[in-house]
Chain A
Amino acid sequence: MTVIALILSIGLGFGLACLIFASLLSKSNDIGNSIGSASSYSGGVIFDRRSDRMKKDEKETFALSYTRDENYVDKGPAPSKKVEIQR
């Protein structure tokens, strides 16, 4: 029993220590690790299709079916802008 308790304690103890020290290392040495938040540039998503508890085959097709829309084809910039961006 002592051996089992010891093995499990090592897992929990060192795991928790790793989590704590990863946070400390991030705070100390990974400076400025943030980008502009979604709310800075967008008012949010208007969800017009929601499906909860999907079946397995449904999850394969859901993402593909929605974005098949001709209105969302990027037609490229006006010719004047084109000159501006390319070297």
Chain B
Amino acid sequence: MVFDPEKQKLICGHCGSEFAPEEFTQSEKEYLADKQAESMNSVYGSDSEDLMDCYVYICHSCGGEIIINGSEASTRCIYCGNSNVVFSRIAKHKRPQFIIPFKITKDEAERAVRKRFKSGIFVPKEIKSFEAANVRGIYIPYWIVDCEHKGAVVVQGQVSSGKHTRTVYYGRAGRMSIRRLPLDASQMLSDESSSRLEPFNLNAMKPFDEDYLLGFYSNISDVTYGDLRSAANMRASEYFNEYAIADVKGARGKKVCNQNHVTAIDYSKLNYAMFPAWFVTYYYKGQHNTILVNGQTGKVVCGVPWNKVLFFTLLAVAGIALTAVTFIVMRPVLEAMFTSSSRSSSSSDSRGKILAAIVCGAIAMFSFGIAKIRKVIKSINLTQDNAIFNFVKKRQE
């Protein structure tokens, strides 16, 4: 029995019968809730540190041993291929309240990735026609948080008055309410990657039912209150700073230079939910790469290895062309400025200022350009992080 995202129903692998998840009987789930995943060290009487996070679960269908980690809530049996939900892990206290069922099928996820890759100028040809090593549908645990945020920031900005530019500091302090902020509750998955999967349509959340997990992998929450508080504080602070910067008018080059934030989570409104994502893994030049696809909206998230030869060749050509154009324009201007007959002190003063402005502009343009390239490369590398690969890898096929 697996959940079909297209039909939004459970499909029996043997007879093809279709059921709505809510029609499925509760009695078997109650029986299975008592089946625990046991520590591998205790099952085999070992004391290995490598097996600390390994658990043995017995397949409901064939009785084979399935190896899972400490936070997996559903997986597939390596022997018979059947879906297994570790009911004991989501029963009682750890049971999520809501779930967003998969809406995007595996094929649709792959198609979305290929379509996105095709439009990339610097995506290597081999990647455009990649063969997925595996495509896994995983429910990621999330905490949905309401919180009150209080912040005070000092925004630094540049203000021009006449010929002079000076740095001015603006103070902004206030409070902000945040509603239904989803925060990833898996330690194995980085917050940077999971937050990029947003937005999820939270209005489409359904009351949690284990049957939605059939056919997919899933994890339960393994974060602490400290993790949750710092994640909420980080996101709320980012949002507060955005608003504070936008509130400062009449300055440019604005940035926050001093800040203090306090976030209070409303625990009475804390909700635990599972959100769907496809993880597509492929290999390029012997390195693994993982693409994330939002299982509800189809949003593709990944940093793709780039064709460095093409990039730097085009960059050099464009750089030379733009340099030539600038040179053609600038040379006569500079010559006219410095060979003109006027020798008065005021005109030589203004020439000096123009030259200084051009020099500053050239230095600023060059450093901004380099900084921007470095920032983009850093962002691309972020989603090629090993943590994402490990999150996907450590699962039964």
User: Which residue numbers of A lie inside 8 Å of B, CB to CB?
Assistant: 1-2, 4-26, 28-38, 40-54, 56, 58-60, 62-67, 69, 72-74, 76-78, 81-87
User: Complex formed: what's the CA distance from A57 to B115 in Å?
Assistant: 54
Q: Are B319 and A14 in contact (CB under 8 A)?
A: yes
B94 lies within 8 A of chain A by Cβ = yes
B299 lies within 8 A of chain A by Cβ = yes
Q: Are A34 and B196 in contact (CB under 8 A)?
A: yes
Query: When A28-B122, A29-B380, A36-B199 are in contact, do A21 and B311 touch as well, CB less than 8 Å?
Result: yes
Q: Are B260 and A63 in contact (CB under 8 A)?
A: yes
Q: Are A47 and B178 in contact (CB under 8 A)?
A: no
Q: Are B338 and A1 in contact (CB under 8 A)?
A: yes
Query: Across the interface, which residues of B come within 8 angstroms of A81, CB to CB?
Result: 267, 270
Q: Are A19 and B369 in contact (CB under 8 A)?
A: yes
Q: Are B222 and A87 in contact (CB under 8 A)?
A: yes
In the complex formed, the residue of A with least CB distance to B299 is A32
In the complex formed, the residue of B with least CB distance to A48 is B174
Q: What is the predominant secondary structure among interface residues of chain A facing chain B?
A: helix
User: Complex formed: what's the CA distance from A53 to B369 in Å?
Assistant: 31
In the complex formed, the residue of B with least CB distance to A72 is B262
CB distance from B92 to the nearest CB of A (A): 9
Partner of A15 from B121, B198, B330, B362 at Cβ < 8 Å:
B362
Query: When A14-B319, A31-B303, A49-B171 are in contact, do A67 and B268 touch as well, CB less than 8 Å?
Result: no
Residues in B254-268 with C-beta less than 8 Å from chain A: 257-265, 267-268
Query: When A1-B334, A5-B327, A30-B376 are in contact, do A22 and B369 touch as well, CB less than 8 Å?
Result: yes
Query: Across the interface, which residues of B come within 8 angstroms of A1, CB to CB?
Result: 331, 334-335, 338
B24 lies within 8 A of chain A by Cβ = no
Residues in B225-265 with C-beta less than 8 Å from chain A: 225, 228-229, 238-240, 242-244, 247, 257-265
Q: Are A21 and B315 in contact (CB under 8 A)?
A: yes
Q: Are B267 and A59 in contact (CB under 8 A)?
A: no
User: Complex formed: what's the CA distance from A22 to B221 in Å?
Assistant: 37
Query: Across the interface, which residues of A come within 8 angstroms of B174, CB to CB?
Result: 45-49
User: Complex formed: what's the CA distance from A46 to B243 in Å?
Assistant: 10
Given contacts A45-B244, A78-B267, 11 further A-B contacts (CB under 8 A): A11-B362, A13-B321, A17-B318, A18-B370, A32-B292, A41-B178, A42-B179, A62-B152, A63-B154, A66-B150, A85-B143
